[in-house]
């Protein structure tokens, strides 16, 4: 499971020309699921994201989590995070989980993230053509892969 986490001052996702979800200060999480991923990956990743200390404290030091600043969370499914680009110029997505496997794990991650973030989590529409808008705060962007937990 791979995630790109962006600290945002605002973010939104639209499908078919209408806004599906939007947040203010918080985290935008782009989530990619591969065939090898299990619920344990979602559990670990959700805990990690909800406790990342990437928000400024009163001294201007990144020392607070999204929970501590009472921030919001928007999660967007993104299979392209598993693109292989080693050969040629057309990415291969063979490692990305098929929708019948990825969709339930995505829903599980949303539930888990809601539990760990201690608040409602907004989301895009799994498998839809989405338009994502954001104002990256910092900018702060972090990449996490559950297959590399020691990184």
Residues with active-site annotation:
78-80
Cβ 31 vs Cβ 13: under 8 Å: no
Cα dihedral 136→92→126→46 (10° resolution)? -60
d(CA 137, CA 151): 24
């Amino acid at each position: 499971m791979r995630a790109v986490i962006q600290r945002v001052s605002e973010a939104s996702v639209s499908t078919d020309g209408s806004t599906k979800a939007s947040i203010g200060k918080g985290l935008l999480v782009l989530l990619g699921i591969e065939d090898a991923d299990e619920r344990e990956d979602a559990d670990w990743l959700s805990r990690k994201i909800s406790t990342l200390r990437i928000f400024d404290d009163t001294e201007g030091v990144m020392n607070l989590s999204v929970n501590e600043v009472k921030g919001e969370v928007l999660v967007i499914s993104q299979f392209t995070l598993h693109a292989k680009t080693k050969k040629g110029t057309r990415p291969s997505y063979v490692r990305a989980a098929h929708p019948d496997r990825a969709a339930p794990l995505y829903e599980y991650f949303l539930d888990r993230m809601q539990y760990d973030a201690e608040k409602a989590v907004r989301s895009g529409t799994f498998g839809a053509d989405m338009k994502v808008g954001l104002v990256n705060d910092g900018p702060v962007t972090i990449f996490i892969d559950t297959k590399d937990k020691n990184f």
